[in-house]
């Protein structure tokens, strides 16, 4: 379970998270929508400890992320994150990209790591690309590789930060299909997205962020069809 309690975070004088509360249960899919600068992406990077927080608490399975005693490297093995920019390791082949962390972080043998990597790459439809270098692939393929790379660590939770925003519209579909597949397999996911149709389809709950505040959170039918908050209404009207 991911528990976010009253989290505040500022960059300089700009407060980007103004007291966020959110609990995500195992197996749940929560999507976060909202305009740029509403704090959605920052929240994800705080959840796996890439960004410090100013106050409040984030707990993952009871472990406080920002406590001094927490071994973040260990905690991050549980929480996979995929970014808007896929951040392939350009000097490694697709297979090596996915194998690296299982080998070095989990300490698996070459054979075992390769087995896992091949399985995950097959899962996201890249079985043909094992020996290829990332720059020889399309953005969508690289993004699917990044997903496989995160999955190879067998995380309990997956965070997706606008994973389709930097993609050619033609390539968005293949990445969303991968996410749909994960959701249907019962992966616990928090997705920040601008894809409203996707959010409606896969989410158990949808949260709307506005200027650092979680303005509304509800099951998708309710949030999209009968939003309560004035800002949510405005946002949805603008995106439809």
Partner 1 sequence: MFNTALSWSDLAFLAQGAGMTLAVTAVSVAAGTVLGILFGVIRFQVGPYWAAPLTFVLDVFRSVPLLIQLVLGNALQAIMKLGWAPFTTSCVVLSLYTAAYCTEIVRGGIDSVPTNTRRAARSLGMSWFQDMRYIVAPLAVRVSLPSWIGLTLGVMKDSALVLWLGLIELLRASQILVTRLQEPLFILLICGAIYFIISLPIARLGGYLEKRWSPND
CB proximity list for 166: less than 8 A, separation 6 or greater: 84, 85, 86, 139
Chain positions 114 to 133 lying near partner 1, rule: CB under 8 A, are: 133
Using the contact rule CB under 8 A, the part of the chain among 79-87, 163-171, 189-197, 225-233 near partner 1 is 79-87
Chain positions 177 to 236 lying near partner 1, rule: CB under 8 A, are: none
Using the contact rule CB under 8 A, the part of the chain among 104-112, 113-121, 190-198, 200-208 near partner 1 is 104-112
Closest to partner 1 by CB, 47 vs 206, is 47
Distance of CA 197 to the CA centre of its chain: 17
Are 182 and 7 spatial neighbours (Cβ–Cβ below 8 Å)?
Answer: no
Strand, coil or helix: what is 62? Answer: coil
What is the CB neighbour count within 10 angstroms for residue 114?
18
Whole-number minimum distance, CB 30 to partner 1, in Å? 19
Under the binding rule (CB under 8 A), the answer on residue 62 touching partner 1 is no
Q: Kindly tell me which residue out of 6, 23, 52, 104 binds partner 1, with binding defined by CB under 8 A.
A: 104
Tokens for 78, please give them.
């549980």
Give phi and psi for 4, each to the nearest 5.
-115, 120
Chain positions 139 to 158 lying near partner 1, rule: CB under 8 A, are: 146, 149-150, 153
Using the contact rule CB under 8 A, the part of the chain among 60-68, 76-84, 178-186, 194-202 near partner 1 is 76-84
Q: Kindly tell me which residue out of 10, 63, 70, 85 binds partner 1, with binding defined by CB under 8 A.
A: 85
Are 141 and 129 spatial neighbours (Cβ–Cβ below 8 Å)?
Answer: yes
Side-chain half-sphere exposure of 218, counting CA atoms within 13 A: 13
d(CA 75, CA 142): 25
Q: Which residues bind partner 1 (CB under 8 A)?
A: 48, 50, 73-74, 76-77, 80-81, 83, 85, 87-91, 100-101, 104-106, 133, 135, 146, 149-150, 153
């Amino acid at each position: 379970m991911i528990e976010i309690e009253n989290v505040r975070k500022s960059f300089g004088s700009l407060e980007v998270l103004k007291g966020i509360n959110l609990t995500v249960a195992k197996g749940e899919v929560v999507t976060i929508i909202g305009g740029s600068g509403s704090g959605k992406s920052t929240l994800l990077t705080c959840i796996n400890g890439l960004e410090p927080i100013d106050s409040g608490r984030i707990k993952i399975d009871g472990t406080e992320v920002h406590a001094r005693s927490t071994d973040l490297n260990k905690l991050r093995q549980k929480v996979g994150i995929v970014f808007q920019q896929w951040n392939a390791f350009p000097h490694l082949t697709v297979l090596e990209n996915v194998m690296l962390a299982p080998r070095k972080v989990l300490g698996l043998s070459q054979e075992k790591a390769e087995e896992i990597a091949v399985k995950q790459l097959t899962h996201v439809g890249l079985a043909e690309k094992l020996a290829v270098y990332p720059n020889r692939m399309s953005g969508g393929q690289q993004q699917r590789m990044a997903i496989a790379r995160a999955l190879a660590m067998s995380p309990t939770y997956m965070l997706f930060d606008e994973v389709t925003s930097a993609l050619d519209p033609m390539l968005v579909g293949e990445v969303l299909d991968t996410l749909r597949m994960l959701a249907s397999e019962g992966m616990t996911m928090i997705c920040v997205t601008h894809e409203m149709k996707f959010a409606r389809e896969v989410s158990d709950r949808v949260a709307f962020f506005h200027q650092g505040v979680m303005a509304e959170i509800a099951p998708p039918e309710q949030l999209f069809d009968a939003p309560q908050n004035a800002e949510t209404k405005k946002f949805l009207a603008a995106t439809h």
